[in-house]
Structure 1
Amino acid sequence: MALDVSLSRKEVLTSLIVGLSTAALPAAALGQGTPPVPAPQGTEPVKVDPNLVTLDDLKAVAKISGLTFTDEELKEVLDSVRSDREAYAHVRAMPIKETTSVPLAFVPNGGGTRVGSRVEAKASPTKGFTRPSRDEDVAFLSIRELGHLLRTRQITSVELTRIYLSRLKQYGDALQCVVTLTEDLAISQAEEADRELRTRTDRGPLHGIPYGAKDLFATKGILTTWGADPYATQVPNYDAAAIERLRAAGAVLVAKTSLGSLAMGDVWHKGVTKNPWNPKQGSSGSSAGSASATAAGLIAFGIGTETSGSIMSPSLRCRVTGLRPSFGRVSRFGAMELSYSLDKVGPLCREAEDCALVLAALCGADPRDPSAVDRPFEYPAKVDLKKVKVGWAGPADRMADDPAVKRLRDLGVAVEAIKLTPFPNELYAILNVEAGSAFDAFTRTDLIHQLKNSSWPQTFRGSRFVPGVEYLQAMRARTIAQQKFEQEFGDFDAILGTGIGGTAFAHANFGGYPSILIPMGDDGSGNSVGRALIGRLYGEDRLIVLAKALQDGFDYHHRRPSLSP
């Protein structure tokens, strides 16, 4: 869920700290406030409580916040501020768990217009497809191809699971993409899948398919470390919603995959997750391990989360097909919370159609996540590509020669440049404040000093310097930005951008729009290249059809990295 945008975390933080919350401001934090009044000779000196909020403290708050109040105006609120600070202490003492939701649910741009709850996804036919002779070739097959082999009895789920477990053991440490192997659970789930498939009990396209889950999804009785030293021994007593739904779909959990510490970047408490295509590079973050393991053929697909680039960026770096669904499409219950209004759950796969098969198993409302909604999803959707219009959000001088643009135009898709108002980067304050809230208790304990190689401590502490009013004003400004983006989206069916989305990335991410990353090889210097398609809210089915049509014009998703030492 970490930031993977052009601004560095330090730059974002520096530009966004615009105010100071008195909730975290004892007088000592700003010097000593008003000094003691000199006592007359022969009397006891007047004692002043060093933690008492003073007029000088309020002046400092106003100054940092860029506000101008008179002394008289500040004196009028002094008692209220002191009283509020006592209330803050009482709230902090309450047992607020990480699973406690905020009673305000972010709704993307009015919630979209699609109603209903029908969800169905079918894999394309693979008639005549036979099992490759080498296990390595089996490991790189798509979900639909593996499903065909399972249903035609050319392979069992136990055999397939052992292939992936063997590869995880062989390459997982070198790539630093695995936190925990779930071998016993995987074999048990695979045996159950085989029994059911033999009796023609078919749970759907994922039945018997091994996968890896980002290690911020709670797994009952299994380590869930969040990639960070302070949580390295954490073992939940429940499963996350995504884990529950994949189990119900018959998928087989073979590994908990690495993530950047507390969902930032690709550095976790045991190392740096590698890009299998170029091990000198990290895999980007924060769904680092899911992307790396999928690219290396260690799992059939991975599950990740995104707050601001954490599915799209590692998918680009590791050259896999990653889908960031619409906000609220998938329940986040049991996933480490970072940003209440930005966190999303999605799949990282080999090809676009695989993303559809996984999404169908994951999506739907959940009373434990107020943001999760029921919306229809039917794949394959009926789409006449000759009636589709796509906006180009990449460099204007590159549109005519861009291979993705050429492919879409060859299919009859109309591609035109789209003009977007620059995204107001000040709104990243929303992410920082929500992250600071999610990790407030952590920040106020010594545990935070155990967090290494991370800039989160600065961000968590810095979030305390953003007043509540400014946070809510930023959320209101976000509403305006969403409305403007929807207006400029106009009659386009999708937006195509370079990398993780070009100029449309931040708009789509903060607006909750779905996006899919299509790998497009490399630039000749070992740097990965890709294109992102952004769709309409809850329009993943149409978006994936368009992505598949684009992807099928190339063979990048069929290529595999060399894993030799």
Structure 2
Amino acid sequence: MVKKSTIKQVTLAFCLFGSFALGAFAWPKIAASPITVGIVAQAQKIIGIEFTPAQGDSMLNTLDSRVKQYQELRNLKMPNSVVPALNFNPIPVGFVNQDNTNGFKLSKGGAVKLPADKNELAFYTVRQLAELLRTKQITSVELTKFFLDRLKKYDPKLLFVISYTEDRAFKNAAKADDEIKAGKYRGVLHGIPFGIKDLLSTADSKTTFGAGPYKDQELHIDATVVKRLEDAGAILIAKLTLGELAQGDNWYGGITKNPWDVTRGSSGSSAGSASAVSAGCLPFAIGSETLGSIVSPATECGDTGLRPSFGRVSKYGAMALSWSMDKLGPITRSVEDAAIVFNAIQGTDRNDLSTIAAPFNYDGTVAGLKGWKIGYIKAPFNNRNISNVNDSLTLAKLKELGAELIPIEMPKTPSSAIQFVLEAEAGAAFQELVLNHKDDMLVRQGKGAWPNTFRAAQFIPAVEYIQANRARTLLIQEWYQTLKGLDIYIAPSFSSNLRLTNLTGNPCVVLPNGFNKDGRPTSITFMGQLFGEGKVLEAARIYQQATDFHTKHPTLNF
């Protein structure tokens, strides 16, 4: 058993080395205890550096002053919305954008007729619903009511809604109908209902982050993503579940379920967004990803998802988990729907200094992949213990479509050693929960859950955080050199590539790619160069149209 005196010594030391937070009530007791050479000796075991007693003694005055500085900063009680004065830059040295100009051209759409059974509308794409609205075969008010009714019907079982925005929705839907009737058609999102992950703020409703400590929180602003979608004419109808503070599918109201198998969670953290779209309760929804939170639930629920490049989409009005890794993107029924939504939300924002200007050029009329150079990460495709049989079939299909396949290797710079950047930033973003012991209010309390991660993060030295970001620069440069000359590359959805590209900021499209032996969806990810969303979406659309996996949907017998 560890002696209490030893624990006290380590705790005191990391008030300075790692900013360990015990809460305001404990501070006077800690501050009254002098820092000694013995405390420094205990702390050095955690940071992995040895000092002589004389060196430790020389530090004491500096360390004492640091402890006081940390407490001054904690007294500021900074809200989650305050961003650091440092911005992550994912652009490698010598970088050249894949797209030279902006352009957006949709594939040729055919005529769409209102089905005799309106329940079939549940699984129509944005393109199909847009054509019904444009040709006035259905109104936005009717469509809004249809999807609200479905959300309310299936939410008791799937648990994917935190709150409805009905008043706002019907007001905006009526406005959309008036505009369309008057010939003022804004485009394919005009009148289309959608939902957002409830880490995005809206001025007229609560923003709960899916977590008990914030379930009554009101932020009184509309997130930039919400404003841009509504400017395009889309209709916000619901705020959707997320695993608490963007981890998993557990939130304060339960576990969001997978419509394909309600004995399973929908994965996370964009749990509600993926589940609602999969169940035909929304045409599209907005999710977010820091380390797999679009890829994982989209895979579990059989959706198509786009995780954009870091800096492509404004995070103003979104919960911060990791300022250098958070990304917002759409979860949809098809790749082209994802392109439509992305086109509406991407671009710089003066309210978010992390946004980066870059061209976006998407051409949905491109047919076939002849002349395309498509890389594939060699190891997972060759490892039978890792690779899904459908992944290998993907390679064959891409070759059939005309692509030249080129094997590539993962970078030598260890992304696993850099990942604690996320933990350090998350520990800062939610330090107040540790300080006030509100982390005890979170549902999940295991070793791998946020409370323990936030606490352990207080021990990460600032020097090591900076060193990890320097290694990240090496990783970005190495991966950029590897991808030079390729149009895109593909990878199994769950591999070290997922961690790598969330650190480098590269974009990906995850799409359904068959079913496993238990009848649940599997997926594949199409990956791009930084700001290469146009190429990734084009290739993913061509592949998706050559298969039919995205046309399958769960049978909701409940």
Q: TM exceeds 0.5?
A: yes
Deviations 1:380-411 (A, max 9, x none): 16867212111122322669982211111111
Structure 2 counterpart of 1:386, from 349, 367, 370: 370
Structure 1 counterpart of 2:402, from 412, 418, 422: 412
The 2-side partners of 1:409 and 1:482 are apart by 29
- What aligned pairs does 1:135-534 form with structure 2 within 5 A after superposition? 135-380=118-363, 385-393=369-377, 394-396=380-382, 402-421=392-411, 423-454=414-445, 455-500=449-494, 502-534=495-527
Return the offset for 1:167. 0.3
Deviations 1:484-526 (A, max 9, x none): 22222242221111234x3422221110000000101311213
The 2-side partners of 1:259 and 1:332 are apart by 16
Q: Which moved more, 1:195-204 or 1:399-408?
A: 399-408
2:44 maps to amino acid: A
Verify the 8 A CA contact 2:283 2:332 in the aligned structure 1. yes
The 1-side partners of 2:31 and 2:517 are apart by 66
Summarize the Cα distance change of 1:374–1:382 in structure 2 as closer, same or farther, 3 Å threshold: farther
Return the offset for 1:120. 4.8
Deviations 1:308-361 (A, max 9, x none): 000000000000000000000000111110001100000000000001100011
Deviations 1:204-225 (A, max 9, x none): 2211100010011001120211
Summarize the Cα distance change of 1:503–1:458 in structure 2 as closer, same or farther, 3 Å threshold: closer
Deviations 1:366-392 (A, max 9, x none): 122111122211221686721211112
Q: Which moved more, 1:477-486 or 1:262-271?
A: 477-486
Verify the 8 A CA contact 2:194 2:234 in the aligned structure 1. yes
Aligned-pair Cα RMSD in Å:
2.3
The 1-side partners of 2:52 and 2:418 are apart by 29
Return the offset for 1:93. 1.3
Structure 1 counterpart of 2:535, from 505, 527, 542: 542
Aligned to 1:83: 65
1:553 maps to amino acid: A
The 1-side partners of 2:89 and 2:508 are apart by 17
Verify the 8 A CA contact 1:378 1:541 in the aligned structure 2. yes
Summarize the Cα distance change of 1:490–1:21 in structure 2 as closer, same or farther, 3 Å threshold: farther
Q: Which moved more, 1:254-263 or 1:515-524?
A: 515-524
What's the secondary structure of 2:92's corresponding residue?
helix
Verify the 8 A CA contact 1:323 1:346 in the aligned structure 2. yes
Summarize the Cα distance change of 1:26–1:513 in structure 2 as closer, same or farther, 3 Å threshold: closer
Q: Structure 2 unaligned runs (5+)?
A: 1-12, 24-29
Q: Which moved more, 1:195-204 or 1:74-83?
A: 195-204
Verify the 8 A CA contact 2:376 2:408 in the aligned structure 1. yes
Return the offset for 1:447. 2.1
Q: Structure 1 unaligned runs (5+)?
A: 1-18, 30-47
The 1-side partners of 2:536 and 2:98 are apart by 17
Q: Which moved more, 1:521-530 or 1:394-403?
A: 394-403
Aligned to 1:70: 52
The 2-side partners of 1:334 and 1:277 are apart by 32
Verify the 8 A CA contact 2:374 2:490 in the aligned structure 1. yes
Aligned to 2:9: none
The 1-side partners of 2:151 and 2:21 are apart by 54
Verify the 8 A CA contact 1:435 1:460 in the aligned structure 2. yes
What's the secondary structure of 1:110's corresponding residue?
coil
Alignment length (residue pairs): 528
Return the offset for 1:539. 1.0
2:471 maps to amino acid: A
Verify the 8 A CA contact 2:169 2:235 in the aligned structure 1. yes
Summarize the Cα distance change of 1:426–1:504 in structure 2 as closer, same or farther, 3 Å threshold: same
1:458 maps to amino acid: N
Structure 2 counterpart of 1:101, from 83, 92, 100: 83
Return the offset for 1:126. 2.5
What's the secondary structure of 1:395's corresponding residue?
helix
Return the offset for 1:527. 3.5
Verify the 8 A CA contact 1:27 1:54 in the aligned structure 2. no
Verify the 8 A CA contact 1:273 1:288 in the aligned structure 2. yes
Verify the 8 A CA contact 1:20 1:466 in the aligned structure 2. no
The 2-side partners of 1:89 and 1:484 are apart by 40
The 2-side partners of 1:49 and 1:95 are apart by 19
Verify the 8 A CA contact 2:290 2:326 in the aligned structure 1. yes
What's the secondary structure of 2:330's corresponding residue?
strand
The 1-side partners of 2:372 and 2:98 are apart by 22
The 2-side partners of 1:126 and 1:420 are apart by 39
Verify the 8 A CA contact 2:510 2:523 in the aligned structure 1. yes
Return the offset for 1:97. 2.3
1:434 maps to amino acid: E
Deviations 1:234-264 (A, max 9, x none): 1221111111111111110111010001100
Fraction of identical pairs, as percent: 38
Summarize the Cα distance change of 1:70–1:263 in structure 2 as closer, same or farther, 3 Å threshold: same
Return the offset for 1:49. 7.4
1:337 maps to amino acid: A
Aligned to 2:4: none
The 2-side partners of 1:267 and 1:127 are apart by 41
1:330 maps to amino acid: V
Return the offset for 1:416. 2.6
The 2-side partners of 1:196 and 1:329 are apart by 30
What's the secondary structure of 1:365's corresponding residue?
coil
The 2-side partners of 1:218 and 1:117 are apart by 34
Verify the 8 A CA contact 1:23 1:88 in the aligned structure 2. no
TM-score of the two chains, using structure 2 as the length reference: 0.90
Aligned to 1:32: none
